[in-house]
């Protein structure tokens, strides 16, 4: 049984740019996004569930700390008690302080490799770098190590 997840737009955009968007529904179900994230992503896919966070006061408070999409995504993950796919360092810090488990776009690739959905993450990491995602050498090495490729 797949676990549910909430994602922010960075992961969706990054995976779409490297033609790996389909990894999300392969690994998780449902894949949820709040309306602001759907708006930022701009592409409608059948498996992506758009859901409004119910706690609007929390969204407003979080909006003082992070951008609107991140605020809605954090609130939605908290409401559903799910992990959150988030890459922004500040937003990750805020989400962790609320007790939300975090996975990044690179973590999605590692998980996909471990579950057999990818044979190697190295080409995907290269594609992400070419698509403009900033990867520190340390993060890249850690990802390759976790995927038994480094």
Is the pLDDT score of 134 beyond 90?
A: no
Distance of CA 71 to the CA centre of its chain: 14
Sign of CA dihedral 18, 118, 109, 81: positive
Model confidence pLDDT, tens digit, residues 39-84: 999 999 999 999 999 999 999 999 999 999 999 999 999 999 999 9
Q: pLDDT confidence of 133, banded at 50, 70, 90?
A: confident
Model confidence pLDDT, tens digit, residues 74-127: 999 999 999 999 999 999 999 999 999 999 999 999 999 999 999 999 999 999
Q: pLDDT confidence of 132, banded at 50, 70, 90?
A: confident
pLDDT score, position 1: 82
- The pTM assigned to this predicted structure is 0.94
Task: Give the start-end residues of each E strand in 8-138.
Answer: 28-33, 48-50, 83-85, 102-103
Residue 30: is the preceding peptide bond cis (ω within 30°)? Answer: yes
60 three-state secondary structure: helix
Among candidate residues 81, 73, 68, the one with its CA nearest the CA of residue 48: 73
pLDDT score, position 105: 95
Domain that holds residue 135: 1-150
Q: pLDDT confidence of 6, banded at 50, 70, 90?
A: very high
Q: Phi/psi of residue 49, each to 5°?
A: -95, 120
Query: Could you give the CA distance from residue 45 to residue 100 in angstroms, rounded to a whole number?
Result: 25
Mean pLDDT of 7-17: 96
Q: Which residue has the tokens 């995976």?
A: 15
Query: Could you give the CA distance from residue 110 to residue 13 in angstroms, rounded to a whole number?
Result: 18
Here the CATH number for the domain that contains residue 21 is 3.40.50.1010
Domain count, the chain: 1
Among candidate residues 101, 5, 27, 142, the one with its CA nearest the CA of residue 125: 142
């Amino acid at each position: 049984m797949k676990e549910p997840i909430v994602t922010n737009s960075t992961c969706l955009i990054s995976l779409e740019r490297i033609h790996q968007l389909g990894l999300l529904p392969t690994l998780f179900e449902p894949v949820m996004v709040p309306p602001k994230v759907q708006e930022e992503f701009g592409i409608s896919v059948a498996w992506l569930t758009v859901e409004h966070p119910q706690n609007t006061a929390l969204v407003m408070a979080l909006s003082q700390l992070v951008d609107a999409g991140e605020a809605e995504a954090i609130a939605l993950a908290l409401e559903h008690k799910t992990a959150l796919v988030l890459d922004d360092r500040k937003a990750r810090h805020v989400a962790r302080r609320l007790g939300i488990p975090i996975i990044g776009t690179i973590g999605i690739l590692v998980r996909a490799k471990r579950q057999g959905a990818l044979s190697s993450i190295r080409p995907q990491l290269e594609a992400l770098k070419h698509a403009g995602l900033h990867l520190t050498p340390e993060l890249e090495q850690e990802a390759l190590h976790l995927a038994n490729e480094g």
